Amino acid sequence: MKYEVGDEILVLQTSEEGRVLEILNPEMVIVEVRGVKFPIYTDQIDFPYFKRFSQKPLVSAPKKEKAFIDQIPIEKKTQTNHIKAENGTWLTLLPKYSLDEFGDDIVDYFKIYLVNHTQDAMQFYYRYEKNGQVDFELKSEVLPHKDVYIHDMDFSDLNDYPHFEIEFSLSKKDDKRADYFETQLKLKPKQVFNKVEEIKDKNEPTISYRLLDKYPVREKQVKEQMDLSSLSKVGYKVVPAKKFKETLPPVRSVVDLHIDKIIDDPKGLSHFEMLQLQLREFEKWYDIAVMNRQPNLIIIHGVGKGKLKEEIHQLLKSRREVKSFVNQFDHRFGFGATEIFFQY
């Protein structure tokens, strides 16, 4: 769901601002505008933050007096490096402003930088998504105490669920430290809007999000010859790692997540408990599909209120092995199933 209770919204038809009071379903919410409450479709509203930055002020700017060249004070020299961040590795957004006819700042876009304030040179794989679709990818290297410009992001992209995924690895391999480190970042329009206002008040140039403090060490490896006889004696089934795959259920190309397909008697379970059971079942068959390198998998989630489908789609957006997924009409399942396509 794009909106949450309490979010500020803009009615597109009237350009009036209001607030979300209640979520009726994925397509409709109840909003309050100037004290009036009414239902409205989600495609008829938007977040107001882009409008606030781009709208022209209603008052005219005071006329500026003429200044002659000998009256203009000499500008003090400033530090050339505009990226400011503490120790660690950061994703930094540098707002770029333009001036309207009244001389006021308007945010047009952000310049995205990867800032490395550590002692390590690192290789990185960067992926930027909008609305669940990959918009930009980059593989490169960032040197110690350096920053790398990556790309520009329009301010209006904040309404398109911007999602960043970054994988780091050391340029010079170190057996004592991890092979790689993965992290991700999701931006919310309201939070970014507030941060922009904050840096303007503090006269700071950038917004920074910490990705890691320092590159992680390698986890201690478990000895292969560990004595597991004590576990067998108390009833646990011990399976050699080489034969683990043989103990898994046979692969499925279609998985039905209706609750009566998972447990015999769902009576007495709350909606939340049933949703958690369905998500655990999804994770189980998803992992089996990936382990067996299946090319695709169909998940039957039903139509209903769409909560299970929404949760599954959010999970799929963050999985690297997912090439794409689609929820379209199928004569067998209607719109109640999503097909996942994998990449390995």
pTM, full prediction: 0.47
Chain segment 269-286, per-residue pLDDT in tens: 888 889 999 999 999 999
- What residue numbers bound the domain in which 285 lies? 231-342
> Same structural domain for residues 34 and 109?
no
Q: Are 257 and 301 in contact (CB under 8 A)?
A: yes
Is residue 164 over pLDDT 90?
Answer: yes
Q: Euclidean distance between the first and final Cα of the chain, in Å?
A: 30
SS (H, E, C) the chain: CCCCCCCEEEECCCCEEEEEEEEEECCEEEEEECCEEEEEEHHHEECCHHHHHHCCCCCCCCCCCCCCHHHCCCCCCCCCCCCCCCCEEEEEEEEEEEECCCCCEEEEEEEEEEEEECCCCEEEEEEEEECCEEEEEEEEEECCCEEEEEEEEEHHHHHHCCEEEEEEEECCCCCCECCCEEEEEECCHHHHHHHHHHHHHHCCCCEEEEEECCCCECCCCCCCCCCCHHHHHCCCCCCCHHHHHHHCCCCCCEEECCHHHHCCCCCCCCHHHHHHHHHHHHHHHHHHHHHCCCCEEEEECCCCCCHHHHHHHHHHHCCCCEEEEECCCECCCECCEEEEEECC
Is residue 331 over pLDDT 60?
Answer: yes
pLDDT computed for residue 78 by the predictor: 38
> Same structural domain for residues 137 and 21?
no
The confidence band for 326, taking pLDDT boundaries of 50, 70 and 90, is very high
| Beta-ladder partners of 219 | none
> Which two structure tokens, joined as six digits, stand for 11?
């009615």
Chain segment 119-158, per-residue pLDDT in tens: 999 999 999 998 878 899 999 999 999 999 999 999 888 8
User: In this structure, is residue 77 part of a structural domain?
Assistant: no
| 186 Rama sector, left if φ>0, alpha if ψ -120 to 50, beta otherwise | beta
> Same structural domain for residues 21 and 109?
no
Strand order in the sheet with 296-300: 254-256, 296-300, 337-342, 322-326
CATH code of the domain covering residue 250: 3.30.1370.110
pLDDT computed for residue 80 by the predictor: 37
> Same structural domain for residues 334 and 243?
yes
Q: Give percent above pLDDT 90 in the chain.
A: 31
pLDDT computed for residue 124 by the predictor: 95
pLDDT computed for residue 55 by the predictor: 58
User: In this structure, is residue 32 part of a structural domain?
Assistant: yes
User: In this structure, is residue 150 part of a structural domain?
Assistant: yes
> Same structural domain for residues 188 and 237?
no
User: In this structure, is residue 74 part of a structural domain?
Assistant: no
pLDDT computed for residue 323 by the predictor: 92
The confidence band for 35, taking pLDDT boundaries of 50, 70 and 90, is confident
- Which range is least confidently modeled, 70-79, 165-174, 266-275, 304-313? 70-79
Is residue 231 over pLDDT 80?
Answer: no
How do strand 296-300 and strand 254-256 relate by DSSP bridges? parallel
> Same structural domain for residues 36 and 92?
no
> Same structural domain for residues 171 and 284?
no
CATH code of the domain covering residue 113: 2.60.40.1600
Is residue 79 over pLDDT 50?
Answer: no
> Average pLDDT in the 156-179 region?
90
* Identity of the residue numbered 47: F
d(CA 169, CA 139): 11
User: In this structure, is residue 270 part of a structural domain?
Assistant: yes
| Beta-ladder partners of 163 | 129, 186
Pick 256 or 70 by higher pLDDT. Answer: 256
> Same structural domain for residues 184 and 243?
no
User: In this structure, is residue 58 part of a structural domain?
Assistant: no
> Same structural domain for residues 141 and 175?
yes
The confidence band for 325, taking pLDDT boundaries of 50, 70 and 90, is very high
> Same structural domain for residues 203 and 236?
no
The confidence band for 241, taking pLDDT boundaries of 50, 70 and 90, is low
> Average pLDDT in the 244-267 region?
82
> Same structural domain for residues 196 and 247?
no
Per the structure, the count of domains in the chain is 3
Chain segment 87-111, per-residue pLDDT in tens: 899 999 999 888 766 767 778 899 9
> 307-317 vs 271-291: helix axis angle to the nearest 10?
40
Q: What value does the mean pLDDT of the chain take?
A: 81
User: In this structure, is residue 15 part of a structural domain?
Assistant: yes
> Same structural domain for residues 316 and 258?
yes
User: In this structure, is residue 69 part of a structural domain?
Assistant: no
